[in-house]
A and B are shown apart, each in its own frame.
Chain A
């Protein structure tokens, strides 16, 4: 039942059919229900945001999508097919890239090497070839390096190409992480709080890059973010979660007017 209709956004972008669909996902850790029967979809080419108060289950949701958690119940459909339980690296090979809430880069390695690791899923040369750096491994590396350089150019981080990541300020590390995710050429990019802890200028830069990625590469983006201004400006559709449940889903305007959402954020007397 693949939906191929799509829709057109306010700024005139054509959004395609369903890329990923989550049906009645429930995730339990012992007695704790982190995600409770949630259903939503992500369409090709859109920027989809997941928002909600602390502890609402947003990051768990992202981890389900990236294959880090296997849902207790429910189904994941990806590109029109039901996705069996998978390891995260298998999910990555299928074209799902991600960044982490707490930066997860190799601090001692240079930016270039870190971004190169994003290409690992595309490397197939054997151990021997890699060790000798001959034949397939060499051709592959040149090929991959070119793709990585395009990402470096795109995110404007040429000047720190050879700088060890550990010496970079926070905002730049976030950008390097995005670069690594992009280097894998994902069809679905998951961003876990890409702007947490940034100042206004860094947020503006990052927003611009997210829009550019979506625009230039047509990458579908699913992001978690706390800054409401950013979410409302960037995303095409928003899912709102609270205590593991979905309490809203729609365009930013629809969500903003939703009484349940307002209550969840502002609090209601129980």
Chain B
């Protein structure tokens, strides 16, 4: 781990960076927000003035160094300022998810003992008031949007404008005190505390120091050559570590402008108007974008459609090569230029991607064809791999080495290690300090030397040095032959087919893999309509021989693709069936965030799993289902089990870890 202090006299906190920015490029825009139909903007020096007024207001409220200040609301400049103002007086900002319910909020606010809550609007104020009795340390709330709050009891409530006004009034009296507090902030003081979403158990408060945030911002900004003139759109939850790094860490380090949308509903319009140069989105945003374009193109006139198709095919062929700077023939280059004018340019404009220099996606696997589509258009979309505990960056893809199946090389300053179990460990300047008030979890996750367990299994490719994540470490197992078994890897490949909604692959401890498939009713239903296939129910459609043929071809293509990977070639699906019901969270088969619970599924459908392995051709089964209103019923079905062609592999290759 690096231990050196920032460059002699260099800024060692976010408020210090704010000071630097206001001095070096004070007139450059720091924040923009669309309000009342117009983009309002604040320069760095205006931002400093606003933040100072807020910080002085917080001092007047009695905030002391070490206090926790919770921030709840959608992405707005005022709330970003609130976080920096809290840091300026030595307090620790704790951004919370704005859609969390009172109960979740109560746990987090109580756990960190937040003294002050900065709330975005009436909705958030109401939630906090509801739980205020259970928060012994809670003292005061500040609200941003006064709408509907005029008649509330203001003994523990202040408006944002009043807070700033009281701060401005106290400028002469307490200005020096504030400067002293700000200059006293050290590199190892806490910068922010972020709660992990907590899919398993209670949320944990991840403490990140100024060193974590600033070193990470510095390294990642250098990696992608981020500049002061860049623009980002801040639309992802403020409580998420990524937003903190992009909209605060990197923004304050490089001095680029953070743009906040008018409302969640207007995000797409605002994106188009701003056309950010640096952009992050989870895969589903890119998926939706692509689907919408394709649907709209279906409605276009025939010549337009042909032109679109023609140039898109060309882009798919040469676009990624051009982006990676590989050599492309003169004729192809010229044709790409024409396509840029006729198709790609207008398309990128409609998507809001006209100016993108660096785009990232992360979080889940992205379908290769979606990824390639955007890259073909000349959008530099890349993947990264990270987590809260690492201040985001663990690995990322350098320009020119972008592939849809890896997550890139270690980010600058990050060391990687693959444990014997296949689990990925990392150590970096961004590695978190601790879980707040949870020494036990801290010890379980981070060892004495600073190595942190990611919980994901993966391996580093020998020739390229890229990291590939195959699955959650706890799901990875071995087959009877000893070959590596990574169900999620195969399931993701299957799920990239629009016709397949869910897939569950079995095979741990067995001689071969088998799978349950769930069809996507919208996609398959659409296909059935176009091919004059009549069906009366989901079950009938799922069991239709032509549907089975189609799924079989998908499975076989997947097998061919899995076989290319010598480590995982044993995971080819030998037999499969299409389930007669959709896997559902109400039946406990999926989590609320739609992740498959394979153990429960294996138990519930044990007869089907058995049939997959004993060679039965058809099987009758009966399953209990829960309707939306909570009533239960049973459905009966006879399912056909199909064999899928597999690609023979030369010799059973054993996992690297063996």
Contacts and interface: CB of A to CB of B under 8 A. Distances in A.
A51 to B, nearest CB: 27
A216 B147 contact: yes
Interface string B196-239: 00000000000000000000000000000000000000000000
B35 interface: yes
Given A212-B147, A212-B148, A216-B147, A159 B36 contact: no
A107 interface: no
Contacts of A12: 151
B266 interface: yes
A158 B148 contact: no
A227 interface: no
Contacts of B38: 149
Interface of A is mostly: helix
Given A158-B263, A159-B263, A149 B147 contact: no
Contacts of B265: 158-159
B263 A149 contact: no
A255 interface: no
A159 B148 contact: no
A146 B36 contact: yes
Contacts of B37: 112, 145, 149, 152, 158, 161
A153 B266 CA distance: 12
A149 B263 CA distance: 14
A159 B266 CA distance: 5
Contacts of B262: 158
A256 to B, nearest CB: 26
A215 interface: yes
A9 B37 CA distance: 37
A150 interface: yes
B349 interface: no
Interface string A208-228: 000010011000000000000
A156 interface: yes
Interface residues of A, number: 16
B266 A158 contact: yes
Given A158-B263, A159-B263, A153 B150 contact: no
Interface of B is mostly: loop
B291 to A, nearest CB: 20
Interface string B134-149: 0000000000000110
Interface in A113-163: 145-146, 149-150, 152-154, 156, 158-159, 161
Given A212-B148, A215-B150, A150 B263 contact: no
Contacts of A145: 37
Contact of A153 (B36, B148, B151): B36
Contacts of B266: 158-159
Contacts of B269: 159
A185 to B, nearest CB: 16
A153 B34 CA distance: 11
Contacts of A149: 36-38
A146 B262 CA distance: 15
A156 B121 CA distance: 14
Given A153-B36, A158-B266, 20 more contacts: A12-B151, A112-B37, A145-B37, A146-B36, A150-B36, A153-B35, A154-B147, A158-B37, A158-B263, A158-B265, A159-B263, A159-B265, A159-B266, A159-B269, A161-B37, A212-B147, A215-B148, A215-B151, A216-B147, A216-B148
30 contacts: A12-B151, A146-B36, A149-B36, A149-B37, A149-B38, A150-B36, A152-B36, A152-B37, A153-B35, A153-B36, A154-B147, A156-B263, A158-B37, A158-B262, A158-B263, A158-B265, A158-B266, A159-B263, A159-B265, A159-B266, A159-B269, A161-B37, A212-B147, A212-B148, A215-B148, A215-B150, A215-B151, A216-B147, A216-B148, A216-B150
